[in-house]
Structure 1
Amino acid sequence: MTTTAETILEPPRRQGTPLPRWVKSHPVLTTGIAIFIPQLIGSCFNIAYNAVHIERLLLPEQLAYFFRIVAIYNLLVYPIALVCWVLLMRYLHQRFKVLNSGGELPAEELDNARRLVINLPWYGSGFGALGWFLCIPVFLGALSAHEAPLDVRIYALLPISFAISGLIASTHGFFVLEILAQKLLYPVFFREGSPSNTPGAKPLSLRARGLLWVLSAGVCPIISLLLLRLAPQEQEAGFPWFELSVGVIGIAFGLTTAWLGGRWITRPVDELTEASRRVSRGNLETRVDLLRADEFGPLIDEFNRMVTGLREKERVEETFGRHVGKQAARLILDGELGARGVETNVTIMFVDIRNFTSRCESCSPQKIVELLNRFLTEMVEIVESNSGMVNKFLGDGFMAIFGLTPEPGRQQHEAVGAGQKMLQRLGDLNQELSAAGFEPLEIGIGLHSGPAIVGSIGSPRRMEFTVIGDTVNIASRVESLTKRLQCAFLVTEATRNGISDDIGAEPFPPQQVRGQSECLTVWGVAGTLR
């Protein structure tokens, strides 16, 4: 499954909306100031509403008193909320500087800072909502206490004014803070760790987010229009310009909220989809780097852990496979062989280099090792390309297993094909060896098919993957017959019977072999007889 960057052309990863340089240079300040934008929008709506519906219902002395209440309220209540907000942002800014400069915070302090970052939208929208909705009892109570009688329509229109303004400012303030905190603050506070695992954090769930979007984009404007129409009107009302304005503003806010909401949900979905495609194409270096505290957070974390596990499994399988063979590594890691192995039909191949002992006497150890590596590199590649698995290196040869693939019925074809290719490749290799000053190599190949136990044996602390059974012994004896019968490639009748194609094999007289009570019929593969 391993692939390289040269073989896979990945599509460019989606990037978020680029931020101005000043915003990136002052992330905490930008986040802190951003809350005032929806508050200003709510204030503009409130001022326009009061100018159209409230001021005309107040006597001159009541209107002057109303403006005094506005001034006193803004000088007393909002500064308190502003001080609380500034203290929160100052607390975050100090910790942000430490983390951004590469420093570390105590674990408890870091948890507190992370919790505050995630809960920041609640604090910001909560301060704003408290200020807006507190206006209703304060202003109604103050105006009612004035000596001049109050128009009864004020008791309906004034709460509408503050309620609509508060909902506009609070809901959109929440979304703005959430987006900026994730984009500007999360990468520093959650450089190590995940927002979804922060204790005490209260991220807005996807279900609650949907309800808030509906409230902000649909319910608020509709309720605003209904309340405006149900509120007491003058006898001669002109064209409902203000109601039309509320409708237009509601549509604008609905589109804005839909854009924010769509971006908030579709981006992690798109990132996960694209990452899944890259993994399916074999790129196990894929990672989704989004930091989310809602339900997407655990999903992204589990996806990244899954890819890390696949990458680690591939690394272990590749490293393990160099020692026991890739097929054996996969079978062992997947647990397909069980604790005690399984009995299955396999084809065993033994390969041996002729006269290797005498060659060792006349060559230095370094040349012998070089020769063996060149030979084994070529032969192992042929075995594995024919769905076989080299199980043991035997000094001057090796043992290979065929039949451990999803299509074991072709094991005899694959084993015989591998043997023929090995002999062909040996001819080319001998020419190369002769040019390099080495004596040509001669090999013997023996095949036998039958049942055997395939699995790991040994002690609990040291085990070895191998094949056990009489099939292995017979295959070894068949290979030893190649020298006596002067045939480089011998197969037993059990192997030949599993091949439907005519391989041009020629039978030898039954042979007596050590360890077998009955004589063995062997066949010489065409082109390998001397």
Structure 2
Amino acid sequence: MIVGKTASSRDFSQNYHSRVRISRLLLNTLLIPTISCHNMTRRMKSLVVDDFPERRGNMKKRGERGAPGEVSESEVSESDVSLTGLYVISVKAMAIGVAIVFLLNFATPTDFIFDRFADFKAAATVSYAPVVAKRLIGFLLVILFIATPSLLVMHWLLRPVINCLKGMKNGIQVEAAMLEGARRRIINLPFFFVGIQLCVWVVLPALIFYVFFLFRMMDMRTAVVFSTRASMVGFVISSIAFYRIEDYCRKKLIPFFFPEGQLAGLQGAQHLAIGRRILFFYAMGAVLPLVILLVTLITVQWELAPGTMPAKEYGMRIIAFTVVLSCFFLISAGILNRLVARSIVAPIKNILDVNARIRQGDYTARIKVVSNDEIGILGDSGNAMIQGLRERETLRTAFGQYVTPEIRDEILSNRIPLDGERREGTVMFSDLENFTPFVENNPPEEVMRSMRAYFTRMQQTIRKHRGLVIQFVGDEIEAVFGVPVYFENHADAAVHAALEMRKALEALNRERTAEGKTPFAHGIGIHSGSVLAGNSGSEDQSAYCLIGNTVNVAARIQGLTREIGCDILISEETVEQLSVSPKMEQLPPRQVKGYSKSITVYRLL
């Protein structure tokens, strides 16, 4: 047998069964004050800046993102920028914490708790409700007593944010110092609020139970244990409040105040590393429950002595307390696990989603940076790399408008040697006849439009046959087939392109004639051989070009078209590489300028 100090075995048996019935009533009504306080905070709109229409329209530089002293366009709409949820979290944290302490104390098998509920034993079954109502009113008063300072503390902490938002609402230019202070307060808010709340959970229980000791309602050891246990419960509740506030800020405030991320670069901002998050969760979810259970068992031994209470009764009461404690920590550990996991997994998932979009070529994607821990730094680095890829793609696209995609890719991939490389290919030159009189007799705008129309038709035809336009010089086109990307039958491709260019020019001339404009005539020269392909120019500015005797001969052959009076001439070297010979006429060997040997050319019919 285990004997108590002040109560008989019969009293303990009656008290135990009475407390079981009382527990059912209390559990059904215990959430009422929490819900009431939650609804009460909904009415505190006067303390909160809820909606901020035209908050950015009155800024100094509308649309400029990340400018010092300004809040720019972000993904968060005006209706999302609300501080109400932070007040709700602060009240709920205190209310739930007090409720948990009340439940744990109620389930603790000590004479102090039994004496506090002696009126339940004396009441009949039908009169339990008034007794519960009496206790509930007292519980509500405690909640209100604690919740009011909590609301005031939260409002005080949010003053920099509220002032900044009010300034935007009123169309006042927000100074850089004010904006930076609001940003810093948003990041530090979970740390500051929870730090103050922890102090409350340490000081307030100590004062309350010390009063109980002064009025001889409990001994000093029991007061110390109850106070310590309440503080431990406060640690758990505060840790949940920390992650809830952090989660709220990440969803509602940080995207608005940090549209470009860069939270880690803000001076004076606190941060919680990922390793500490996991360690913190382990301490709150695993270590603390064991400590509370151990402290409670020791307390019960102080309260009980051999000779009064049956062992079975003692065991049942310990089991009841353990069940309540286990339920509390199972729920709190589940909530903590969800919040901690979300604080880590959600940003990582966002990074993976953005990475998938980048792999698909969507360089408009952006990582949503909402923290200043390792993941936040990784997100900022990722955004910097995405920005680099976006700029590279923009340059690549713009570069492709001045050179062909083949040359662009060769240059950007650094596959072109510094001194160039020898390639086998077929070079083509095309030049308009009587271009100088045309320029003299027409406005520059008309010349530009006409040249653009001509070059567009010719370039499209050359591209159709896998040719590459190297450059447009005046009225001349230089193109190559088989360079820089080699392919078989490049000579055939060049000849077929020249024949189709003849048809394209005929179609263009029909349009020009219909418009009353002078028709064009051009001469095309083609030659095959070895060329040196590479970057030419200065160290600061270079251009892709072809160098070699093959290029010079092709240019001279094009010049022969004026002398002979035809539009397409090809060299004997090109004819020798043709797999299918078109209709052509061999001309006598001719001497060309700058070339020591006579060359044989063929006129395409």
> TM range, normalised to the smaller chain?
0.7 to 0.9
CA distance in 2, matches of 1:366, 1:116: 60
CA distance 1:74–1:207, change in 2 (3 Å):
same
TM-score, normalised via structure 1 length: 0.77
Structure 1 residue 477 displacement after superposition: 1.2
Q: Residue 113 of structure 1 corresponds to which residue in structure 2?
A: 182
Aligned counterpart in structure 2 of residue 310 of structure 1, from 389, 401, 409: 389
Aligned counterpart in structure 1 of residue 420 of structure 2, from 321, 342, 347: 342
Does 2:546 correspond to 1:467?
A: yes
Q: Residue 46 of structure 1 corresponds to which residue in structure 2?
A: 101
Q: How does 1:444-459 map to 2 (within 5 A)?
A: 444-448=523-527, 449-458=529-538
Structure 1 residue 62 displacement after superposition: 13
Contact 2:471–2:479 under 8 Å retained in 1: yes
Does 2:266 correspond to 1:205?
A: no
Aligned counterpart in structure 2 of residue 98 of structure 1, from 146, 149, 167: 167
Higher relative contact order, chain-length normalized (CA < 8 Å, sep 6+): 2
CA distance in 1, matches of 2:281, 2:166: 34
CA distance in 1, matches of 2:140, 2:438: 105
SS of the residue 2:108 aligns to: helix
SS of the residue 2:477 aligns to: strand
CA distance in 2, matches of 1:130, 1:488: 94
- Calculate the aligned-residue CA RMSD, in Å: 4.4
Q: Residue 328 of structure 2 corresponds to which residue in structure 1?
A: 249
Does 2:31 correspond to 1:31?
A: no
TM-score, normalised via structure 2 length: 0.68
Does 2:193 correspond to 1:124?
A: yes
List per-residue Cα deviations over 1:161-216 (Å, max 9, x = no partner).
431x1132111100111012222322443356632321221222223223334444
Segments of 5+ residues of structure 1 without an aligned counterpart are: 1-14
Which deviates further from its counterpart, 315-324 or 293-302? 315-324
CA distance in 2, matches of 1:149, 1:370: 100
Q: How does 1:426-441 map to 2 (within 5 A)?
A: 426-438=505-517, 440-441=519-520
Contact 1:350–1:397 under 8 Å retained in 2: yes
SS of the residue 2:238 aligns to: helix
Structure 1 residue 47 displacement after superposition: 0.9
Q: Residue 160 of structure 1 corresponds to which residue in structure 2?
A: 229
Contact 1:205–1:294 under 8 Å retained in 2: yes
CA distance 1:328–1:35, change in 2 (3 Å):
same
Q: Residue 395 of structure 1 corresponds to which residue in structure 2?
A: 474
CA distance 1:115–1:424, change in 2 (3 Å):
same
Aligned counterpart in structure 1 of residue 557 of structure 2, from 475, 478, 501: 478
Structure 1 residue 455 displacement after superposition: 1.4
Aligned counterpart in structure 2 of residue 291 of structure 1, from 356, 366, 370: 370
SS of the residue 1:232 aligns to: helix
Structure 1 residue 457 displacement after superposition: 1.0
CA distance in 2, matches of 1:285, 1:20: 23
CA distance in 1, matches of 2:93, 2:359: 43
CA distance 1:44–1:314, change in 2 (3 Å):
same
Identity of aligned residues (%): 25
Structure 1 residue 514 displacement after superposition: 1.8
Structure 1 residue 121 displacement after superposition: 0.6
Structure 1 residue 287 displacement after superposition: 3.1
CA distance in 2, matches of 1:452, 1:188: 56
Structure number with larger C-alpha Rg: 2
List per-residue Cα deviations over 1:408-439 (Å, max 9, x = no partner).
67755654454344234334334434443445
CA distance 1:81–1:276, change in 2 (3 Å):
closer
CA distance 1:446–1:49, change in 2 (3 Å):
same
SS of the residue 2:271 aligns to: coil
Structure 1 residue 351 displacement after superposition: 0.8
SS of the residue 2:524 aligns to: strand
Q: Residue 247 of structure 2 corresponds to which residue in structure 1?
A: 179
CA distance in 1, matches of 2:353, 2:402: 35
